[in-house]
Amino acid sequence: MNMKGGVGKTTVTMHLAGILGRWKAFGSKPLRVLAIDYDPQFNLSQALLPPKEYFSLEKQNKTVLSVLVDDESDLDPFKIQVPGNLNPPKIGDLVTSIYKGGKNGGGLDLIASTLDLMYVALGEANLNVKPIEERFAKFIEEARSLYDIILIDCHPAGSIFTQTSLRHSDHVVIPVVPQRYSVRGIGLMLEFIGAKSVGKQPATPHILFNNVPRIGISSEEATIRADRKFTAHCMSNSLKKFKAFTEPEAGRNFVWSSGKPYSTEALGNLLRVSRELVTRIGG
């Protein structure tokens, strides 16, 4: 999560989800991973699914929208009502398999997103959000029983989507492209995390510098790392700028199958970041 767009939220989600579900690189087994596309822009869905498969899922309402409201809900942003049904569909009815675990287990499942989520976002002001929160809570509870790790790709705004994800997350990865104004974005995120977790332990933030030069460290990054408010939250490994992390499409162009230059270096970089994150979250 980051309130800024274009900082690599989707790129990081896709590659972490992919590598954790596939790589036997962490002294144990690959993990059972669930990736949730919780952004109406559905970039993660497009990155992982061929268009035909995506549109077929959307037509069957197999998207994160069905977690929040029933299919038959009237999707008028000014009238959206969540009727009596406080139970979301079963996870098995919503997920699509991106990668089935091999003999060592693991695997990657996706819950796709849809532009129709915008109806919920637009209607939010007039909305009774309680049923949505309750459905999301039950849905995450089931997901926790089925998967080792759940990654939620959020959209860049403070909305019911970011609120529900935060409330049910143990950790928040905050991708940050070090630039002059990124400090403010990080401050905002840390405040948002604190404010949205009333009555429970706040999620632990992990600042991941992304898209940074392969060599050296920018003065902006150094300043943020040295800031007492942020130091403890900064991951020591950064994700560097590599072509091999770009243009994911339809489940292809993962860094380990990329033919782009420096793919091996990019994979090494991703592995270091993933290992550090797994250690930080106590896995």
Ligand X SMILES: Nc1ncnc2c1ncn2[C@@H]1O[C@H](COP(=O)(O)OP(=O)(O)O)[C@@H](O)[C@H]1O
Binding site for ligand X (CB under 6 A): 5-11, 43, 210-211, 239, 241-242, 245-246
Nearer of residues 11 and 73 to Mg ion, judged by Cβ: 11
2 Cβ neighbours under 8 A, 6+ residues apart: 9, 156, 174, 175, 176, 185, 189
Q: How far is the CB of 9 from Mg ion (least distance, A)?
A: 5
Neighbours of 99 (CB within 10 A): 19
DSSP 3-state percent helix, strand, coil across the chain (nearest 5): 40, 15, 40
* One of 1, 18, 33, 43 touching Mg ion (CB under 5 A): 43
Nearer of residues 46 and 73 to ligand X, judged by Cβ: 46
Which among Mg ion, ligand X, none contacts residue 242 (Cβ within 5 to 8 A by kind)?
A: ligand X
- Binding piece for Mg ion, criterion CB under 5 A, among 39-47, 60-68, 136-144, 172-180: 39-47
Which among ligand X, Mg ion, none contacts residue 241 (Cβ within 5 to 8 A by kind)?
A: ligand X
* One of 2, 4, 8, 9 touching Mg ion (CB under 5 A): 9
CA distance 245 to 253: 8
Which among Mg ion, ligand X, none contacts residue 136 (Cβ within 5 to 8 A by kind)?
A: none
- Binding piece for Mg ion, criterion CB under 5 A, among 40-48, 209-217, 232-240, 244-252: 40-48
183 Cβ neighbours under 8 A, 6+ residues apart: 223, 224, 227
Contact 33, 99 (CB under 8 A): no
Contact 108, 37 (CB under 8 A): no
Interface ranges with Mg ion (CB under 5 A): 9-10, 43
